[in-house]
Amino acid sequence: MITTKLFGGMANQMFQYALGRHLALIHKTELMLDISWFDYAPQSPIRKYDLHHFNINAAIAPKQEINKNIKAPQNRLNYLFSRLLIRLNLFQGLNINEQHFHFNPAVLNAPNNVFINGNWQSEKYFKNIEKIIKNDLTLKTAPNQLNQDILSKINNSDQTVSIHIRRGDYIHHKSKNQFHGVCSVDYYKKAVEILNSKLENPFFYIFSDDISWCRENLDFIDSKFFVDINDDNTNYEDLRLMSNCKHNIIANSSYSWWGAWLNNNPEKIVISPQKWFYSTKTNTKDLIPEKWIKL
């Protein structure tokens, strides 16, 4: 059995699931999801378990099983010891804690019956099972009529481009602003120029947690539509719409990363910010797929 700890927003959970699913397939065993973090998750912004919207292949780990089998990752000594063992390509029984942000190939050699705890934000953790992950992360429910109308328009054109703009807590939460930062208007201008040069009459669908700001600052885009029909409770609908656009301009956000990665257009053009975090302490060399354009 493989158990993965879920935490953070929907896109973070998708990364955590993808690695767990890969390890479970390697060992031909079941994947269990530890969702206990959401019992005490920070409420600003509200975080909740979101993977139930998707066709995932996993079960929720019973709390008594978690308490019995998993050493608490909050234990500092256990955390430091597990970092040392994973660096040596060894593993401490049940616990594997992520030791750094960039890809660690040793994790894919983990034995069966482990508990994994980390962000795991690189496709290298699950690239070998890309088709399976994309199938697992299809939505269970059909879109409502408003979303279906937009989806139909997106699917009826070969020149559609999604633009995702992340503001929200990146702007209003001091520590997140200092760590993440936000993509500049100049970044989006350059990205739109690239798509205009490569496509014939592209049409841009704009997604954001701050649509009002977008309406005021994206006047340099001629052909556009602001998608403003979904909220935090239906953010998976925006993900579906973004992934069905033929091309993508993403923010420094794992949410729009997945919108682009789930895009099945073999000729897709994806533009990503070169600098993912405002802070330079985190190594993001394995975050952006090789074929994506970094600005």
Average pLDDT over residues 207-214: 93
User: Taking the CB of residue 71, how many other CB atoms lie within 10 A of it?
Assistant: 15
Alpha helix positions (H), the chain: 10-26, 63-69, 76-87, 130-136, 145-155, 169-172, 174-179, 185-198, 211-217, 235-244, 254-261
Backbone angles phi, psi at 135, to 5 degrees: -70, -45
Predicted pLDDT of residue 95: 79
Predicted pLDDT of residue 281: 79
The Cα-based distances of 10 to 53, 71, 82, 147, 293 in angstroms read 10, 25, 27, 19, 24
| Residue found under tokens 């890309």 | 130
- Nearest CA to 209 among 181, 233, 228, 223? 228
Whether 60 has a pLDDT exceeding 70, the answer reads yes
Predicted pLDDT of residue 47: 80
Domain extents in the chain: 2-132, 142-294
Average pLDDT, the chain: 87
Which tens digits make up the pLDDT trace of 185-208?
A: 999 999 999 999 999 999 999 999
- The confidence band for 81, taking pLDDT boundaries of 50, 70 and 90, is low
- The confidence band for 183, taking pLDDT boundaries of 50, 70 and 90, is confident
CATH top class, domain 142-294: alpha beta
Predicted pLDDT of residue 179: 41
Percent of the chain whose pLDDT exceeds 90: 67
Predicted pLDDT of residue 84: 59
Average pLDDT over residues 10-31: 97
Predicted pLDDT of residue 78: 54
Average pLDDT over residues 108-113: 89
Question: Which one is predicted more confidently, 40 or 122?
Answer: 122
Whether 181 has a pLDDT exceeding 80, the answer reads no
Whether 294 has a pLDDT exceeding 50, the answer reads yes
Question: Which one is predicted more confidently, 170 or 131?
Answer: 131
Predicted pLDDT of residue 93: 52
Question: Which one is predicted more confidently, 33 or 88?
Answer: 33
Predicted pLDDT of residue 70: 47
Question: Is the N-terminal amide bond of 273 cis, ω within 30° of 0?
Answer: no
Task: Tell me the sheet residues that pair with 161.
Answer: 204, 247
Q: Which of 93-97, 270-274, 285-289 has the lowest mean pLDDT?
A: 93-97
Predicted pLDDT of residue 174: 46
- The confidence band for 54, taking pLDDT boundaries of 50, 70 and 90, is very high
